[in-house]
Amino acid sequence: MKLVRQAALLAAIALACPAAAAAQEDLKIGAIYMDAQGFYAGVRKGIQTGATEAGRKLDIIETNAQGDVSKESSFIDSLISAGVQAIIVSPVSADGSYRAIRRAHEAGIPVICYNTCLNEEDMKEYISAYAVGDPFEFGHKLGDAAADYFIAEKNEAPKIAVLNCEFVEVCVTRRKGFEEALKAKVPGAQIVANQEGAILDKAVSVASTMLSSNPDIDAFFGEAGGATLGAARAVKSQGKTGEVVVFGGDMTTEIAQELADFSIIKAVVDISGQGLGKLALAQAIKSIDGQPPEGIKVAYDIDLYKSADDGKAWLEAHADGIP
């Protein structure tokens, strides 16, 4: 009788504490990065740090999709075959990435987005969690900082060129937030050019051409890190330092150095790659344990850096150069 009571007690504890049992389980999780540098290097470090701190054995299988939908799709299929229990991904395309993600979903594998995701309808259908800093707020904070700069400079009708990453929807939303905040304070502001330039080398080339075609440009808005740094380099190479300034997204060591110098870059908004990586991994573990978030989206803080001192402080806090 005593043995029966002990068995019943153990069964009751197991039923009452499924999370405790799950905590002992080894996990295999796939992680896909859109790039290997800058923000995505930070995400990778955050996922790796989160895995170390998780309190259970995690096997992270990772790759760099290099901004290529076909490579992303192939790796998702490999992860499905490898039997991962969750996939963490920043989809290359809101519309083009959904087929591979749907296959993972149909295989019973929770998919966790970070930074970028699918369109709203597909996200609700196939995504377990989306770790994200609100892209509209991202742009809005920067647009507000740009407006304050132009007001201080007494420029009521600044001409702004945009280097975009609008092959992903999140960057379109960033621009909308930027424009709304800027024009709320400086109604005469104009967007005079808007071209894709997310990768550094291309951004330098496109920004240089913009400066030649529009010699009266007052500022650039770089929607992502490559665009921000590329615009700053183009301004410098074209001899426009002191005439044209840059407002941009995504902090890196080189961008922080430019902000600390404060002659070209005047403000940067940033979502910590390491912090977002940790959050995405935590959501993957919760989804595996049957505890996905209500409403799918899980917000992460957005930081604004708008002084030379802010740039110097970031460099001190990120001595390893990983954002």
Query: Per-residue pLDDT tens for 30-77?
Result: 999 988 878 899 999 999 999 999 989 999 999 999 989 999 999 999
Q: Virtual CA dihedral for 258, 263, 269, 271, nearest 10 degrees?
A: 10
- The structure tokens 């299929």 sit at 77
**How many CA atoms lie less than 13 Å away from 91 in the CB half-sphere?**
28
163 Cα distance to chain centroid: 17
Q: Where are the strands (E) in the chain, listed by range?
A: 27-33, 58-64, 86-89, 111-114, 129-132, 159-164, 190-196, 219-222, 245-249, 265-270, 297-299, 303-305
5 has pLDDT over 60: no
Average pLDDT, the chain: 91
pLDDT band at 183 (very low <50, low <70, confident <90, very high): very high
- CA–CA distance, 223 with 320 (Å, rounded to integer): 24
For the record, the structure tokens of 86 come out as 């969750």
Residues 86/288, Cβ–Cβ less than 8 Å: yes
CATH number of 135-270+305-317: 1.10.3720.10, 3.40.50.2300, 3.40.50.11690, 2.40.50.140? 3.40.50.2300
Q: What is the pLDDT of residues 262-299, one digit of tens each?
A: 999 999 999 999 999 999 999 999 999 999 999 999 99
Q: What is the pLDDT of residues 216-244, one digit of tens each?
A: 999 999 999 999 999 999 999 999 999 99
Q: CA angle, 70 as apex, 66 and 71 as ends, to 5°?
A: 45
Domains 2-133+273-292 and 135-270+305-317 equal at CATH topology level: yes
Q: For the chain, which residues make up each domain, given as ranges?
A: 2-133+273-292, 135-270+305-317
CATH placement of domain 2-133+273-292: 3.40.50.2300
Residues 304/267, Cβ–Cβ less than 8 Å: yes
